[in-house]
Amino acid sequence: MKKIFLYILAVLFIIIILPSICTKRRQDVAKKEDEKQEQNVAQVEKYDYSKYKDIRLFHSKTGEVEVLPFDEYLYGVVSSEMPVSYEMEALKAQAIVARTYTLYQIINSKSKHENADICDDYACCQAWIFKEDRMAKWKEDEAKANWEKIVNAVDLSKGKIITYSGKPIDAFFHSNSGGKTENVSNVWGGSDLPYLKSVETAGEEGYTQYSSEVKLTKEELINKIKNKYSDFDIDFNQEDCIKILEYTESGRVRTIKIGNKNIAGTEARTIFGLRSTHFEVSFDENNVCFSVIGYGHGVGMSQTGADSLAKQGKNAEEIIHHFYSNVDIKKIY
């Protein structure tokens, strides 16, 4: 009788009480998620973005600092960073990315220049160009329309930034991913960022930035490596004297063995002046040839990928969500 009673209690627990407990737990989890979302919104809104309405721009050639309205600064960035021939939605995406990148640098005190927020050197910050200089590089009969297109791209995306967990992201971008972007840790080390994950992008092979070749004489290769490693040595008679040892998940070179040195792909790119770390290498009796795919570090938005997606009908926000995972787009002014 006692066993029957215990059995009935167990059945009642499973049928009635246990579902109630599970439901309560799901409700608690959902409540916590809602609270987290509210906190994220609050984090974005707590910033006093009004103090960033002007940008202090350091001119690398003259050493002078110029104060510009934020969007006027972005006209010079977008016109310098992305070809005006690209689709409007790609240019708008570039404007949002550039605005976000700039804010991230300011908020996180990343500036390397005293009394300035950012500089005009692409190797340090973002490229920037004077309107007059930019227009002089275009055909005279196209310059006015081209500049208006740039201004429209910035103005139509006015105030929009990319956020993750309520904060502006470190919005890296590059020229051409070669079909797949790179995880940030494979380029600069450290931990991966959840919004900078490797993604595939179709249609980039049709751009001039997609492929390139660097050919060096064997002597040139030796001299370039010896500039970094004085004890470098190589015997080209050995079959495996040059060998790629490891690739990253995106197909880029993580490590390459050249002679008596194992060199990181990112370092090899610098030493040999390669467009990216996505390369294969071959050599013959006289020369060493690097066949390269893509252009740039490969992290974040690919500009040719953005244009390709725009040609496929994607809008600026869809392009951004493609390249940056689990982000939000927030209008701050």
Q: What is the DSSP string of 141-205?
A: HHHHHHHHHHHHHHHHTTTEEEEETTEE----EESB-TTB---THHHH-SPPPTTS---B-TTGG
User: Which pLDDT score is estimated for 306?
Assistant: 98
Q: What is the signed CA dihedral for 102, 104, 107, 112, rounded to 10 degrees?
A: -70
Query: Which residue carries 């660097």 as its tokens?
Result: 214
Work out the average pLDDT over 108-124.
88
Half-sphere exposure of 221 (CA within 13 A, CB side): 26
Residue 321: partners with Cβ closer than 8 Å, 6 or more residues away: 327
Q: What is the pLDDT of residue 30?
A: 44
Helix, strand or coil for residue 79? helix
- What's the pLDDT tens digit per position in 1-10? 555 555 555 5
The two beta strands, 287-293 and 211-217, are antiparallel
Determine how β-strand 261-264 pairs with β-strand 118-119: unpaired
Map tokens 């013959």 to a residue: 284
Backbone phi, then psi, for 88, in 5-degree steps? Answer: -55, -40
Give the residue, 214 or 28, on which the prediction is more confident: 214
Q: Closest Cα partner for 228 from 174, 199, 266?
A: 266
Size of the chain in residues: 333
Buried b or exposed e, range 38-59, using 16+ CB within 10 angstroms:
eebeeebeebebeebeebbbbb
pLDDT band of residue 111 (cuts 50, 70, 90) is confident
> Among 326, 329, 300, 328, which residue's Cα sits nearest to residue 201?
300
CA pair distance 248, 278, nearest whole angstrom: 9
Q: What does residue 59 show for φ and ψ, rounded to 5 degrees? A: -90, 115
Q: What is the DSSP string of 8-74?
A: HHHHHIIIIIHHHHHHHHHHHHHHHHHHHHHHHHHHHHHS-GGGGSEEEEE-TTT--EEEEEHHHHH
pLDDT of 210 > 80? The answer is: yes
Predicted pLDDT at 16: 57
Task: Give the pLDDT band of residue 37 (cuts 50, 70, 90).
Answer: very low
Tell me which of 40-54, 93-107, 266-280 is least confident: 40-54
If one compares 19 and 186, the residue with the highest pLDDT of the two is 186
Q: With 70 as the cut, is the pLDDT of residue 12 above it?
A: no
Do strands 118-119 and 54-58 pair parallel, antiparallel, or not at all (unpaired)? parallel
Mean pLDDT confidence for 82-92: 98
Are 81 and 150 a contacting pair, CB within 8 Å? no
Mean pLDDT of 29-37: 47
pTM of the model: 0.83
The closest of 133, 265, 135 to 187, measured between CA atoms, is 265
